[in-house]
Amino acid sequence: MGVLWLVQTPAILNWKKLSILKETDFTLNFEKIAFMKSVIPTFNLPLLSLIVLFVFGCKQENETETSAEISSDMKEKQQAPKRPISENFKRYWYAGEAEITSYQLEQARYGELRDGNAVLIYVTEPFLPNEQVKANRNNPDNVSVLKLNATKNFLTGIYPYSIMSSTFYPVYDNQHALKTSLSVQEWCGHVYSQLNNRNQFEFRSHSYFEGEADQNFTMEKALLENDIWTKIRINPENLPKGKITMIPSLEFLRLRHQEIKSYEAKAEMSSKDGITTYTISYPELERNLMIHFSSEFPFSIEGWTEEFKSGFGANAKTLTTTASKMKTIKTAYWKQNGNSDLILRDSLGL
């Protein structure tokens, strides 16, 4: 890119082209100024100042754009390479259907076990990495994700609890979930939390509890417990093992009013009779999560158990939440929203 030097002569109001300077020749020194004065003795000094500002302004803008490009390139290089997707995965998950599994639930809440149900809905979909929402049309920037919508419904006395979490995890299993969110509704009020994966983790939440009303902050990236449920379905061999630091599920942190941060944990995996169990233990939180899944593809979630202290104060005690698989169907549920489709809930035991 060249810079056009223009000067105004005092005799007539026309502009003369003095010289073209290369983009790299933006250093103006007194020798150049002297040279210009010798060429045009009546050179307008205020105009020269304006030109100098113009040149340096362009140079600064170009430097900013170059830095942004370098930053973008570095980010791409730092991202782990895509892991290959198996043919089994493609046939199962790109058939235009979701996998829906229902579970009989015993949920620990307020120091007691509550009967209810849970549903895990897995489906692949295109995802916009910048806006971090589902893409409505084909775009070369789309990221294919395995989405998990997980719901729980149970009663605590007279009033109901409804919990839903959503995780959008890249099928290439080469980075953290692009987004995970949580909503909880019950008669006392409702809460919402969301974690976005950008340069850092961006966390925001809204709650009716004093001291938790509105939060919005960033944190360093770490392993996410919410990722585990989708990583299992892609390739459980890539699950983290040993001593790790991990951010527990948004659901647990919210229901137990724990600080949103990564905690020291230990992860192990064992198999028996065709069922593999992945265990995460958090000593500081006095919590153990065990996810049971089939050892062969499609690595279906057969159930889970979660041990933690339930209740508050002197009434708190360690209880175990359990979920046992009832039924699984594969269907395009988003097309089945008529009254005539209500019967399909029977096929899930709901």
SS3 204: strand
Letter string b/e over residues 179-212, b meaning 16 or more CB atoms within 10 A of that residue's CB: bbbbbbebeeeebebbbbbeeebbbebebeeeee
Determine the pLDDT at residue 55. Answer: 39
Determine the pLDDT at residue 134. Answer: 86
pTM of the model: 0.77
Instruction: Residue 95: name the closest of 332, 273, 306, 265 by CA.
Output: 332
Our CA dihedral for 188, 348, 164, 222, rounded to 10 degrees, sits at 140
pLDDT in tens, 73-90: 444 445 688 888 889 999
pLDDT in tens, 219-249: 999 999 999 999 999 999 999 999 999 999 9
pLDDT of residue 46 exceeding 80 = no
pLDDT in tens, 267-276: 999 999 999 9
Label residue 349 exposed, middle or buried (CB < 10 Å: 0-12, 13-18, 19+). Answer: exposed
pLDDT in tens, 123-166: 999 988 888 888 888 888 899 999 999 999 999 999 999 999 99
DSSP label of 250? H
pLDDT of residue 214 exceeding 80 = yes
Q: Which two tokens stand for residue 270?
A: 């064992």
